[in-house]
Structure 1
Amino acid sequence: MIQAIRSSLEWKLILIIFATIFITVTGVSTFSYIKSSEAINNDVVRFSNQILKQANLNLSRYIRDNEQFFRTISGSREFQDWLKTGSNDQYGLFDSYQKMEKTVITPFTTYHPETLSIKLYNENGNESTYRNEYMWESILAPYYSMKNESWLMSMNLTGKISRHYGMNDQYTDKAGRSKSIPILTYAQKFRFAEQNGYLAIDISLLATQEILNEIQLGEHGLGMIVDQSGTIVSYPDPERINTKLDPGIFTNISSNLAGSYYKAESKQMIVYQTITGTDWKVIVIVPYGDLARSISNIRHLTITLTIAGLLIASILAYITSHSITRRLKQLRRTIKMTKLDQFDVRAQVTGIDEVAELATAYNILLDRIENAIQQLAETRLVQQHAVLSALQSQINSHFLYNALESINSMAHLAEQPDIQQTTIALSDMLRYTSNYQQTTVTVKDEIDHLKNYFFIIRILYGEHISLSFEQDSFVEDAQCLKAIIQPFVENSVKHAYEVTGDHLLIKISTMRWMDRYVQIVIEDNGIGLTDEKLNMMQQALSMGQGEQDYMRFSRIGVLNVHYRLKTFYKEPETGVFVERLLPEGGTRIIIRFPHRS
């Protein structure tokens, strides 16, 4: 059975169909699970956002309005007069306070009953306190003195309002009994006329309970606010205020600013977030049953998607199998034609899937095979030409060696040392260039070959041509191709001195380049190249060449050397580069190839 499936495309496609259906059903189930989870999370986020939006809007209003009110008082002329009042000037103290209360305090507290008290204190002993008459549920105790506040002595002249919040026991109820209520206090230290004073405003936070009562959290959901110690500040049931939160819940929320978790034992979702600017947290507790109502809708959607998915999967499986088998048959016919040596037949490419890519790749393979056959034929022609040239050179070299030996003997008998040395130099050059078994030499060998050539040039032209060397000992033992320097020196003699007759100076420099390359620079002070010829030469050097150009380049020294370097080395920086040395003349040739020992 397994062998039948492996050898049959039809069976493979059947398995693909079943796999597609299975994946579809699995995907729908996974999608249903994910959507269910997302529905629950979305409900949690929605309830949480309701709480946070209402609570933060309320607190933002408190902070914005009351801080503006604080700045209005602290920036008023009456407050400055109050601070500058001496300790014995009770009338001035009362007068400045009354003006402040009439013009600033009363208009604000009338519309902001959550402002419980406003307290002024001067280090010279003066103290004034405003108690909001509209807040009889909580009024600042008559024995209160601002100088007893724990935070007073730690305040500095920073120019910024500080906040102090928590449960405050300095307030009383209607009967004068002390009570602890959540208070947010704004305070700041000031200095006028060499007097240090303080301003503090107490704001009630009990109004947040009204916001919690207005939020819809399902049939059994509720919201609360707790402080950093786990004490309930606001709760739907007033009797729970100032009691401790369930330790199991507090342990889970105390270490993070915001988050959510599922309480398995009570089947409740707990969502919490810290109120901006405080250490208090808003907590929403929602029974899981209230959140799971949307799951029934997801179940209906799951059934619908499953049926539709199975139907669509079956149709797509049929269309896909037909498309694959039809194009594979076409590709198979093309391959059979290739086996009959018909390389000009190409596969038909339709679509953009893997089968289309396979047909495209096969067509590219056929194109490369044709190019490889053509290049192989050209390479064999070049090789044949090289072999014939080598055989021809060997015949010519054998004759020339004998002739040079005869000239050397005759010069020795005739006592002509110049002729003898010239003959030896020419013989060394001939042996150097005609040794076809040795492809590479060292840079030092190449320089020695150049010196033999220059010895002969000096015999011909005397002192009219000078040659100087700057050699880096690091590159002397580097391997390089033979006869890559001498052709350029020969060009300098031919196109400079032989044209103008002026003294010719040629400078040869060898050095390292980018640590990985050997660079040989050949400079002369000749007439240089015209712009047209320089551009033509640079363009020819920048173009890629193939084996078919070998015959043409074998007669052009610059391109011949460049082609040999490019053929032997594969590094991109290898080659010959031609530049104008100076605007008025001169030529610089740069030969570059990898450093190899």
Structure 2
Amino acid sequence: MMNRVRKSLKVKLMLSFTVVIFVIVASIAWFSYQEISKSVKGDIVKFSSQILKQANLNLERYYQEYEQGFLQLGTSREFEEWLKLEPEDKFGFYQYYYGRSDGSGMQRNYILPLVFRHPEIMSITLKSNRGNEFHYTSRYALLNEYSLDLEPWIKDSDKTDKVLMRVVNNPYYLNEKQERQAYLVMSMVKRFGKFEDAGYLKMDVSLKPVQAILQEIELGRNSVGMIADKDGKIIVHADEDKITQPLSADWKERMYGKSRGSFFVKETDEMVVFETLPYTQWKSIVVVYYPTVAGSVERVKTVTAVIAAAGLLLAVLLVFAVMSPITKRITNLRRMMKRTQMGDFSKRLPIDGKDELTDLSQSFNQMLENLDDKVQQLAESKMRQQKAVLSALQSQINSHFLYNALESIHSMAILSDHGEIEQTTINLSNMLRYTSSYRDTIVTVQEEISHMLDYLKICQIRYSDALTYEIHMDKTCENRLCLKAVLQPMVENAIKHGIETAGEAIHITVDVSLREEQVYIRIQDDGQGFKPDILHRLQLQLSSEDEIDKYDEITQVGILNVNYRLKVYYSQRSAGISVCNSEQGGAVVTVTFPALNRYTGDGGSS
């Protein structure tokens, strides 16, 4: 049995997954029951606290929006001017309350938008020390004889610079039937202004939104939410008969003096959780009937056991159903790889399914099909490398013959006293020696400049005064390493398109500089420059990655050839060639490559 387990991947996976699933399911079931049994009271407290916090956030938002709109009205320019009006100034009252043509007005800019956002606002009262008093009502009207003078507690607002808030039973309202009726409201009062130019602003808000928020708290049967003010009087409750009644002395002792907390009332089996509203210092309270919640523990135990057993059985069946075809395909792949090791490439894996193993099987079959092609390509690559080496050796032999011929011409030029022929043969011999050394692909910038100078001297002998040049090089660039034969093709293009094509004299300027660990070689002429269409096409070719992949199609030894060699050798975006026309006329070619002091070998740099 153990030997089969060690050799069979299918058996290992089945046993491993079954054990892991059993341990996980059993652990979850056991810990779930234990934790539910031990911490049901704590869960009630935490859950109730979270609900209270969310309810408090909603209540805080309401209170802050009330106060914000209240203060905006009280500090408005229109209200300040209204406080200064005499009672007989009816026109001024109309201007500052209803508004003028300039868009001002308390009702339009402050009262109506505030009531629109909060339709629970029942009335807004404005009263000045000069005797003016005005009442705005929304749904329920106020008695004609109503005045702030009937509510002596309003004077308490003189003792604080904050908005005074009280929950009162206001008996001065009229209901829909125009009958006098008392409503429980939250009144906000504040004194504004100074001396004679002062007054009061009062706003009554219905407590129905607060009651709606508390009614949304659902913590089981017989649970209830309420709010008590700073004195311990119930101001919001689902049962209206409880409103204005005081909390029990025991509850007040346990709650007041603390910002939040909970306690258990043994006599009634109730869990009481409370939070303090920071804005008003009122207490939001949730009372949960404990047996309602605790009675679900046994049901949770039974349901957890049934679900755990069913889940374990289902998991084992799913593991068997899923793993069987997978392990079968892995076994086939293993068998096929052993045949391949023995040199048998004739068989192919069956393709079934659409998963990762299917992709692996297809890739393995494709690998077998392409194996002969890859071997053939490798053999052909080796042959091309051998041909390249033989060609280079043959080129070296041909170059040796040319050296001897140039030395003979040089000797005859000396004997005949032909200085130009002598200089030309020397420069040409230097160029041939420089380019025919196929082993050295990297030279110093100074050596590359010298090679370019040999070419320029030959051309100057040929074209005489039609060609002039100047070279400026930063001393720090002389010993930096450079890819061979990148500058001579650039000046050759300038001469070809300037003197040979246009038939005009040309001056070439070469600037070599070092910036940010990059060597910049700028080659500029004073010719006609690139034609717009040619310049655009050449810039696209130099910036295109596709041109590098098409190197076999680049037959000319010019800008594209040199750009390709720079890109391939340095493998950096910063290496390469850029072209443009100068503002003074003429073409500008800039060769850029890293400023290196040494190189790692063929095809690499550091």
Relative to the length of structure 1, the TM-score reads 0.66
Match of 2:426 among 421, 424, 427: 424
Whole-Å separation in 1 of the counterparts to 2:245 and 2:529: 108
Structure 1 position 503 matched with structure 2 position 505: yes
Alpha-carbon spacing, 1:234–1:562, altered in 2? closer, same or farther (3 Å): closer
Give per-residue Cα distances to partners, 1:221-253, cap 9 Å, x unaligned. 5655344587877795988548474655556x5
Match of 2:488 among 486, 495, 500: 486
The answer (yes or no) to whether the contact 2:270–2:288 under 8 Å persists in 1 is yes
Whole-Å separation in 2 of the counterparts to 1:329 and 1:264: 68
Q: How does 1:7-18 map to 2 (within 5 A)?
A: 7-18=7-18
Could you tell me which residue of structure 2 aligns to residue 103 of structure 1? none
Could you tell me which residue of structure 2 aligns to residue 401 of structure 1? 403
> How many aligned positions are there?
519
Give per-residue Cα distances to partners, 1:24-51, cap 9 Å, x unaligned. 6248628966997999669956995799
Deviation, 1:482, is 0.7
Give per-residue Cα distances to partners, 1:243-299, cap 9 Å, x unaligned. 474655556x516xxxx7686999864444455952212111324332233444444
Could you tell me which residue of structure 2 aligns to residue 543 of structure 1? 546
More displaced 10-residue stretch of structure 1: 398-407 or 36-45: 36-45
Could you tell me which residue of structure 2 aligns to residue 518 of structure 1? 519
Whole-Å separation in 2 of the counterparts to 1:223 and 1:491: 91
Whole-Å separation in 2 of the counterparts to 1:533 and 1:211: 73
Give per-residue Cα distances to partners, 1:105-150, cap 9 Å, x unaligned. xxxxxxxxxx9xx9978389x99xxxxxx9xxxxx9999686xx45
Deviation, 1:22, is 1.1
The answer (yes or no) to whether the contact 1:221–1:286 under 8 Å persists in 2 is yes
Match of 1:254 among 248, 252, 259: 259
Could you tell me which residue of structure 2 aligns to residue 19 of structure 1? 19
The answer (yes or no) to whether the contact 1:231–1:245 under 8 Å persists in 2 is no
The answer (yes or no) to whether the contact 1:471–1:511 under 8 Å persists in 2 is yes
Alpha-carbon spacing, 1:562–1:41, altered in 2? closer, same or farther (3 Å): farther
Whole-Å separation in 2 of the counterparts to 1:210 and 1:423: 105
Could you tell me which residue of structure 1 aligns to residue 442 of structure 2? 440
Whole-Å separation in 1 of the counterparts to 2:191 and 2:535: 86
Secondary structure of the 2:469 match is: strand
The answer (yes or no) to whether the contact 1:83–1:195 under 8 Å persists in 2 is no
More displaced 10-residue stretch of structure 1: 444-453 or 27-36: 27-36
Whole-Å separation in 2 of the counterparts to 1:315 and 1:509: 78
Percent of residue pairs bearing the same amino acid type: 33
The answer (yes or no) to whether the contact 1:84–1:193 under 8 Å persists in 2 is no
Whole-Å separation in 2 of the counterparts to 1:538 and 1:33: 71
Could you tell me which residue of structure 2 aligns to residue 163 of structure 1? 163
Deviation, 1:463, is 1.3
Alpha-carbon spacing, 1:509–1:2, altered in 2? closer, same or farther (3 Å): farther
The answer (yes or no) to whether the contact 2:83–2:129 under 8 Å persists in 1 is no
Deviation, 1:386, is 2.8
Could you tell me which residue of structure 1 aligns to residue 570 of structure 2? 569
Whole-Å separation in 2 of the counterparts to 1:196 and 1:352: 82
Match of 1:225 among 224, 227, 250: 227
Secondary structure of the 1:197 match is: strand
Match of 1:335 among 334, 337, 346: 337
Could you tell me which residue of structure 1 aligns to residue 596 of structure 2? 596
The answer (yes or no) to whether the contact 1:331–1:347 under 8 Å persists in 2 is yes
The answer (yes or no) to whether the contact 1:440–1:482 under 8 Å persists in 2 is yes
Could you tell me which residue of structure 1 aligns to residue 281 of structure 2? 279
Structure 1 position 122 matched with structure 2 position 129: yes
The answer (yes or no) to whether the contact 2:498–2:528 under 8 Å persists in 1 is yes
Deviation, 1:338, is 3.3
The answer (yes or no) to whether the contact 1:492–1:526 under 8 Å persists in 2 is no
Whole-Å separation in 2 of the counterparts to 1:264 and 1:360: 72
Deviation, 1:451, is 0.6
Alpha-carbon spacing, 1:382–1:494, altered in 2? closer, same or farther (3 Å): farther
The answer (yes or no) to whether the contact 2:83–2:130 under 8 Å persists in 1 is no
Could you tell me which residue of structure 2 aligns to residue 314 of structure 1? 316
Whole-Å separation in 2 of the counterparts to 1:303 and 1:519: 77
Alpha-carbon spacing, 1:556–1:42, altered in 2? closer, same or farther (3 Å): farther
Whole-Å separation in 1 of the counterparts to 2:450 and 2:472: 14
Whole-Å separation in 2 of the counterparts to 1:476 and 1:366: 54
RMSD of aligned residue pairs (Cα, Å): 5.8
Alpha-carbon spacing, 1:200–1:5, altered in 2? closer, same or farther (3 Å): same
Match of 2:199 among 197, 200, 209: 197
Structure 1 position 152 matched with structure 2 position 153: no
Deviation, 1:220, is 6.7
Give per-residue Cα distances to partners, 1:549-569, cap 9 Å, x unaligned. 66x656644444334323322
Alpha-carbon spacing, 1:26–1:144, altered in 2? closer, same or farther (3 Å): same
Whole-Å separation in 2 of the counterparts to 1:456 and 1:587: 22
Could you tell me which residue of structure 1 aligns to residue 113 of structure 2? none
Q: How does 1:285-364 map to 2 (within 5 A)?
A: 285-341=287-343, 347-356=349-358, 358-359=360-361, 362=364
Q: Name the amino acid aligned to 1:122.
A: N
Could you tell me which residue of structure 1 aligns to residue 393 of structure 2? 391
Deviation, 1:455, is 0.5
The answer (yes or no) to whether the contact 2:498–2:505 under 8 Å persists in 1 is no
Whole-Å separation in 2 of the counterparts to 1:202 and 1:500: 94
Secondary structure of the 1:477 match is: coil
More displaced 10-residue stretch of structure 1: 460-469 or 1-10: 1-10
Alpha-carbon spacing, 1:545–1:331, altered in 2? closer, same or farther (3 Å): farther
Deviation, 1:531, is 4.2
Give per-residue Cα distances to partners, 1:187-227, cap 9 Å, x unaligned. 2446699643335689999xx99999999976775655344
The answer (yes or no) to whether the contact 1:466–1:505 under 8 Å persists in 2 is yes
Could you tell me which residue of structure 2 aligns to residue 104 of structure 1? none
